[in-house]
Amino acid sequence: DTAVSQTPKYLVTQMGNDKSIKCEQNLGHDTMYWYKQDSKKFLKIMFSYNNKELIINETVPNRFSPKSPDKAHLNLHINSLELGDSAVYFCASSHSTSGWYNEQFFGPGTRLTVL
Amino acid sequence: SQQGEEDPQALSIQEGENATMNCSYKTSINNLQWYRQNSGRGLVHLILIRSNEREKHSGRLRVTLDTSKKSSSLLITASRAADTASYFCATGTSGNTPLVFGKGTRLSVIA
């Protein structure tokens, strides 16, 4: 049983396109996150949602728009893709808004390549 | 801003040996967590140690925390080839401040 799943696993697209990455968790968690991992493996938080509400929005271009239709889903839409957006994007989830105090469960990642 | 810094960046050992990785951080924390990432996969939580704890064990893993030195270490005993992965520390502070991850230590265990 997959706990945190993401689709697609790989995404190759041209500069300027718009793309979406989907995330679902079946753990019953109420907090979900999006992280970006660059080529040097540095992992940085982008967004955090609790019960479908945005609670963390780090310095991310407004071309990135998260959407949480329900507690189990957090999707990431990216407009006007740029070369620098190439990275691996990870979705994660945890219990409660004090997720920083609890373990986070990560999805397998989506490798985005912008050409 | 980046918080945790792992040391060394890369470590190569023989199967059966112990592996020690260190993490240093800059500001006060509520907890420190260690994660493992196998190549091409997501991160897996290994262990969480709170700021009022000094040592924690989980199987072959031993984590220590020294808040006076703002540092933590992860010891993997009797390493196996399957332990080959990148290991990240992540620090948690209070409120809604997110976990901050270091750049990781790449561990290679040679059979």
Question: What's the pLDDT tens digit per position in A55-73?
Answer: 777 788 999 999 999 999 9
- Using 50, 70 and 90 to split pLDDT, how confident is the model at B6? confident
Chain B CB contacts of A56 under 8 Å are 96, 98
Please name the residue of chain A whose CA is at the shortest distance from the CA of residue B97. A100
Element (H, E) at B16: none
pLDDT at B7: 84
Mean pLDDT, rounded, for B77-96 = 90
Query: A26 vs chain B: nearest CA distance in angstroms?
Result: 16
| pLDDT for position A74 | 95
Phi, psi of B66 (to 5 degrees): -120, 100
pLDDT surpasses 60 at A99? no
Task: Sort out which chain B residues have CB atoms less than 8 A from A104's CB and list them.
Answer: 43, 45, 99
Region B18-43: mean pLDDT is 94
- Which range is least confidently modeled, A105-114, B4-13, B69-78? B4-13
Residue with tokens 């396109």: A17
Fill in the DSSP letter of residue A33.
E
Instruction: State the average pLDDT for chain A.
Output: 90
Stretch A1-8: mean pLDDT:
88
| Other CB atoms within 10 A of residue B57 CB | 11
Q: Contact B42/A107, CB-based, under 8 Å?
A: yes
**In this predicted model, which residue has the larger pLDDT, A51 or A19?**
A19
| Cα separation values, B59 from A17, A91, A98, B23, B63, Å | 47, 27, 26, 20, 11
Q: Which of B42, B34, B90, B31 is nearest to B58 (CA)?
A: B34
**Residue A77 backbone dihedrals phi, psi, to 5 degrees:** -110, 135
Instruction: Reply yes or no on whether the pLDDT at B1 is more than 50.
Output: no
CB–CB contact A100 B45 (8 Å): no
Residue B56 has pLDDT above 80, yes or no: yes
Q: Which two tokens stand for residue B31?
A: 């907890």
Average pLDDT of the residues in B26-55? 94
As a whole-number percent, the residues of chain A with pLDDT over 90 amount to 69
* Contact residues of A toward B, CB < 8 A: 4, 33, 40-45, 48, 55-56, 58, 90, 92, 97, 100-109
Across A13-25, average pLDDT: 97
Q: Does the pLDDT at position A47 exceed 70?
A: yes
Give the pLDDT score at A41: 87
Q: What is the pLDDT at residue A103?
A: 84
